[in-house]
Amino acid sequence: MSVSINSILDRVRREPPIQLPTDFNTWYLYAKLPQIRYTALVTTLLYLIYSVVEYQIVADYHIERFWLHAVLVPITMATVGILTHMPKHHRAMLMLLLLAPIAANAVNVYLNLDSGHFSYFSPELYLSIMWTFAISGLRLRHALLSALISCGIILLASFSAKLPTDFFWLHLMWLFSAFSFGFVSALVLEKVHHTLYEKHMELAALASHDPLTQLWNREKMAMLFNDENQRAIEQDSSISLIMLDIDHFKVVNDVHGHETGDIVLQHFADILQHNVRKQDHIGRFGGEEFVIILPHTTGAEALQVAQKLQQRISQYQFPTVGRKTASIGVTEARYAHEPLSQLMRRADVALYQAKESGRNCVMFVAKELASA
Ligand SMILES: Nc1nc2c(ncn2[C@@H]2O[C@H](COP(=O)(O)OP(=O)(O)OP(=O)(O)O)[C@@H](O)[C@H]2O)c(=O)[nH]1
């Protein structure tokens, strides 16, 4: 299946941005969920087929075989598959995935080791070790724990059983090979996922930051706003928005050059970062326009923050250019689910009013086209 860059860009434009997990453990689990789901489905089906084949070929068929291969394993694996859809139960899902091969191997050894036909059934053990490491979707450390316990049980039972010597050594050889290949492939897979995760995080950082100021860009601010809006709805609290624009910034570029303009923008971003709370989100929306999302903040509180920022900016000594001022527009989300674009429009109206009022001031717009 070939994926063109255009189809990816199309999808990115069509679908709303989503927040991906940022810690490796959660990221890895989410990357592995489809593998766990389909492996569980295929394993369920194969065990059902296996139980029919087994019924046909095993002369002294015991009811335990039926319970294990036709009932217990399929139910366990089907449960694993269902739990992949339930984030709250992912720990239980991983526990089942870790324990299921141990139980299956222990029962296999118990049923077949002394049957005289162990060589018919031992391949299931080797396959199970490979399955645990490379197919199940378990993390390396969990797969290693599961496979070590399985191998411990198999080895203990094999040493105490009276297996023919030539078969015994072959059995050990196959077990060792399954463990080695399984371990190596799980190790490599996990390393590959680590590299993918790092690249993914690098790209996510590049795609969410403004490269000049290191503030969030417009897309990331939209994601953060969605999250904050959701929280505000749940907690019945308000969100406010501050929009800032440096006054007569064109003059900086024209008189001192673009590089000095860039430095002024970076210092401006620093002032914002040092004068808002940790939970506030600051973004640069292009040019000399900056936006701050203030969660759990009423319009009146946001107005105070904006006035403090206006003061700090006007008192700041920017390199080369000295004092600069900013015009600031403030607004507040008036009802739940108000989209960012609507808030931005009101903040923009407030900002326009600040520019019209002679710049270096703060304006608050609570309702469309009404200022206070
Ligand atoms: N150095 C630098 N300049 C930029 C950047 N992005 C936009 N600009 C400049 O910012 C200036 C914005 O000018 P205007 O929109 O006319 O606004 P202004 O001069 O600040 O005037 P008012 O906003 O009306 O006070 C333009 O000269 C743009 O070239 C950037 O990344 N770096």
ipTM: 0.94
Query: Per-residue pLDDT for 368 more than 70?
Result: no
C-alpha 250 to ligand 1 mean position (Å): 5
pLDDT tens for residues 105-134? 999 999 888 877 888 889 999 999 999 999
The distance between the two most distant Cα atoms of the chain, rounded to a whole number of Å, is 98
- CATH numbers and ranges of domains, the chain: 15-206 (no CATH), 218-371 (3.30.70.270)
In angstroms, what CA-CA distances link 282 with 22, 57, 105, 215? 20, 69, 55, 6
Measure the CA dihedral 148/149/150/154, to 10°: 100
What per-residue confidence (pLDDT) applies to 66?
Answer: 86
Predicted confidence at residue 371, as pLDDT, reads 42
Q: Give strand pairing partners of 294.
A: 240
Compute the mean pLDDT over every residue in the chain, rounded to the nearest whole number.
Answer: 89
Q: Choose which residue among 215, 249, 348 to substitute to test ligand 1 binding: the one with the highest number of ligand atoms within 8 A of its C-beta.
A: 249
Rounded to 10 degrees, the C-alpha dihedral 11/15/16/17 comes to -30
Instruction: Report the residue among 210, 218, 248, 250 best suited for mutation to probe ligand 1: largest number of ligand atoms under 8 A from its CB.
Output: 250
Task: Determine whether 284 is exposed, middle or buried from the number of CB atoms within 10 Å of its CB (0-12, 13-18, 19+).
Answer: buried
The residue to mutate among 253, 254, 285, 351, having the most atoms of ligand 1 within 8 angstroms of its beta carbon, is 253
**355 CA to middle of ligand 1, Å?**
14
Q: Which residues line ligand 1 (CB under 6 A)?
A: 212, 245-250, 253, 258, 261-262, 265, 287-288, 355, 359
Question: What are the φ/ψ torsions at residue 250 (nearest 5 degrees)?
Answer: -55, -35
What does the pLDDT read at residue 370?
43
| CA of residue 248 to ligand 1 center, whole Å | 8
Q: Residue 3 has what pLDDT?
A: 58
In the predicted model, is pLDDT for residue 345 greater than 50?
A: yes
- pLDDT tens digits, one per residue of 177-214: 999 999 999 999 999 999 999 998 888 888 899 999 99
Q: Could you give the CA distance from residue 131 to residue 150 in angstroms, rounded to a whole number?
A: 12
264 CA from centroid of ligand 1 (Å):
11
Q: Other C-beta atoms within 10 Å of 345: how many?
A: 14
Ligand 1 geometric centre to CA of 272 (Å) = 18
Instruction: State yes or no: pLDDT of 372 exceeds 60.
Output: no
Q: What is the 251 CA–ligand 1 centroid distance (Å)? A: 8
Q: In this structure, which residue's CA is closest to atom 7 in ligand 1?
A: 287
Residue 84 is classified by DSSP as T
Atom of ligand 1 lying closest to residue 262 CA:
1
Mean pLDDT of 244-265: 95
Distance of alpha carbon 119 from alpha carbon 112, whole angstroms:
9
Q: What is the pLDDT of residue 163?
A: 84
Nearest ligand 1 atom to the CA of 247 is 25
Q: Record the tokens describing residue 143, joined without a space.
A: 């797969």
- The catalytic site residues sit at 288
Q: Whose CA is nearest to atom 30 of ligand 1?
A: 287
Which residue type does 321 have? V
Mean pLDDT of all residues in 236-261: 93
**244 phi and psi angles, rounded to 5 deg:** -125, 145
Query: What 3-state DSSP class applies to 291?
Result: strand
283-336: per-residue pLDDT in tens?
A: 998 788 899 999 999 999 999 999 999 999 999 999 999 999 999 999 998 766
Indicate whether 242 pLDDT > 80: yes
Atom of ligand 1 nearest to the CA of 249: 20
Which segments within 185-239 are labelled E, that is strand?
none
Show the tokens assigned to 271: 């002032």
Q: What tokens does 22 get?
A: 């940022």
- In ligand 1, the atom with minimum distance to the C-alpha of 264 is 1
Among 239, 139, 149, smallest CA distance to 189 is for 139
Proportion of the chain above pLDDT 70, given as a percent: 91
Q: What angle do CA 308, 293, 366 make, to 5 degrees?
A: 75
